[in-house]
Chain A
Amino acid sequence: MKDTTDQTPDRKAWMSLMAKAREGRVAALLDAALTRPTFTWLRAPEIGSVMVRGRAGGTGAPFNLGEMTVTRCALTLTTGEVGHAYIQGRSKPDAEAAALVDALMFTDAAATLRARVLEPLEQEQTARRTTRAQKAAATKVDFFTMVRGED
């Protein structure tokens, strides 16, 4: 097993990106980028929940808000790299694809995957977010004074 802990900030970013991807996207982009390597399961895909917490008053003591569905798995490539995935929702194929990408990011395929999986995912998420932000901005109230009271 190879050490895969030296790229923590970068790895955190790509795992977070894949966790929030729309259903089917990670698998589709991965298959368009390269042929999947062989692997063995360390932990087969498993659907479970995570208790989401909030804070009283937004900044105070934590409380349990409710759960969300999460699918996780872990695998080892035959070349030894380990990949993990924790993704929102209940898609086992997407969890498998995300764990494969995670493992492959420690191989020579990293540059290809960054360009053909991670960057497109990032662009899609930015576009979705920007569109909503712009629609919200269009509903911002512009106040104007009609009559000043002291005149």
Chain B
Amino acid sequence: MYVAVKGGERAIQNAHAWLAEERRGDASVAELSIAQIREQLSLAVNRVMAEGSLYDPDLAALAIKQARGDLIEAIFLIRAYRTTLPRFGASSPVDTGDMACDRRISATFKDLPGGQVLGPTFDYTHRLLDFKLAADGEVPQAPMREADPAPVPHVTGFLNREGLIEEAQPDDTPPPDLTREPLEMPADRALRLQALTRADEGFTLSMAYSTQRGYGRNHAFVGELRIGTVPVEMDIPELGFAIEIGEITLTECETVNQFKGSKTEPPQFTRGYGLVFGQTERKAISMALVDRALRWEELGEDNVGAPAQDAEFVLYHADNIQATGFLEHIKLPHYVDFQSELELVRKLRRSVEKSQHQEAAE
């Protein structure tokens, strides 16, 4: 028997009203502004932009406020908003070699043109709580030094010159877009990179870590990590030429990985690539490691059965909005489903009891 039920509107309305009140918290404490979140919680804003897959710091800050700081909920809000926007087109691929770098380090070369630039990093801090931040403290001015205006070349370019590293050949195949076509296997590298750049940071980090611990080990070095701004250029059809339509902050990580060679390739270094919106270096390094692990087939390596080598496993479980949608839906009413399960279990028990009676009688 199926019984349709209605109800709960008042309970839902009241729950949402209470949510709004709880979101605001103690009214005697000053309310957070969008600008405060954007400026002072910028790494949270960056994560929401990267995984929400929409570069707009003010919208990400609003989403964080609305979601009470729940970043996956904020990412959900951004993804939902994104679907309402008309798409004007696609940009030309950004030129990360032309990046105005805030940070640029290499773990493989000490002395390199452009140097090791640390930027505003948590590295080398002692990870001790700073109680000065709990008081209204004045911020010291960051020191400045004469800057070299020359572009900062990519580190992999140096290895390329000796032919010791695989080349990333220029290619202008229009890339597939998982926001337009469902993600299907086999996924080429362009599709994998799109899925990884918007993937959950925690999941990507764990997958990358698993390769370091031996599940599909590929001996990664951070050839280069850079953070900075690049202009975004797009062809404007009505004008007949391209203009810059904005400027975005990106984090790029190139790994240099050991490779013994295969039937077709000489021994050389191979590469993993991470490129993520905002200052998001944990994610970019993780992405590069996972990208490299997923390249086993095209490089002619063995599939050792490691989770990070399994494109289907990685790509179908990396999206936190898909994951949370499916996971959290099980808390919503399943009264009818469960009623049928109850009936089934009762029936099974009855038949087991019946056969036991029969056995006892025999």
Interface residues of A (CB under 8 A from B): 5, 8, 11-12, 15-16, 19-20, 46-70, 72, 74, 84, 86-90, 129-141, 143
Contact = CB atoms under 8 A, between A and B. Distances in A.
A17 B238 CA distance: 19
Contact of A60 (B97, B168, B194): B168
B258 interface: no
B175 A139 contact: no
Given A51-B89, A86-B234, A62 B273 contact: no
Per CB-CB distance, the 9 closest pairs between chain A and chain B, nearest first, are: A57-B168, A88-B246, A60-B168, A16-B244, A134-B144, A133-B147, A68-B55, A63-B190, A66-B53
Contact of B198 (A5, A53, A66, A84): A66
Given A50-B88, A58-B168, A138-B143, A84 B197 contact: no
Contacts, number: 234
Interface residues of B, number: 86
Contact of A19 (B156, B178, B245): B245
A84 B239 contact: yes
Interface of B: 49-50, 53-56, 58-59, 82, 85-94, 96-97, 100-103, 110-111, 115-120, 142-149, 154, 156, 167-179, 189-191, 193-194, 197-198, 231-234, 236, 238-248, 250, 252, 254, 271, 273, 275, 277
A147 to B, nearest CB: 16
Per DSSP, are chain B's interface residues mostly helix, strand or loop, or mixed? mixed
Given A46-B86, A65-B277, A134-B146, A58 B118 contact: no
A59 B170 contact: yes
B90 to A, nearest CB: 4
27 contacts: A5-B239, A11-B241, A16-B231, A48-B87, A50-B234, A51-B89, A55-B96, A57-B254, A58-B156, A58-B275, A59-B154, A59-B170, A60-B169, A63-B191, A64-B175, A66-B54, A66-B55, A67-B55, A67-B85, A68-B245, A68-B246, A70-B246, A88-B246, A133-B100, A134-B146, A136-B102, A138-B144
A61 B190 contact: yes
B177 A51 contact: yes
B111 to A, nearest CB: 7
A46 B87 CA distance: 11
A68 B232 contact: yes
Given A48-B86, A54-B93, A138 B142 contact: yes
A59 B155 CA distance: 12
B144 A49 contact: no
Given A62-B93, A64-B175, A56 B190 contact: yes
Contacts of A86: 88, 234, 236, 243, 245
A130 B147 contact: yes
B189 to A, nearest CB: 6
A70 B232 CA distance: 11
Contacts of A137: 117, 144-148
Contacts of B82: 49, 67
A140 to B, nearest CB: 5
Nearest to A60: B168
Contacts of A67: 53-55, 82, 85, 87
B197 A66 contact: yes
Contact of A139 (B90, B100, B117, B189): B117
Contacts of A56: 168, 189-190, 193, 273
Contacts of B86: 46, 48-49
Contact of B96 (A49, A54, A90, A133): A54
Contacts of A70: 88, 245-246
A127 B327 CA distance: 48
Contacts of A54: 93-94, 96, 193, 197, 250, 275
B56 A89 contact: yes
Contacts of B102: 132, 135-136
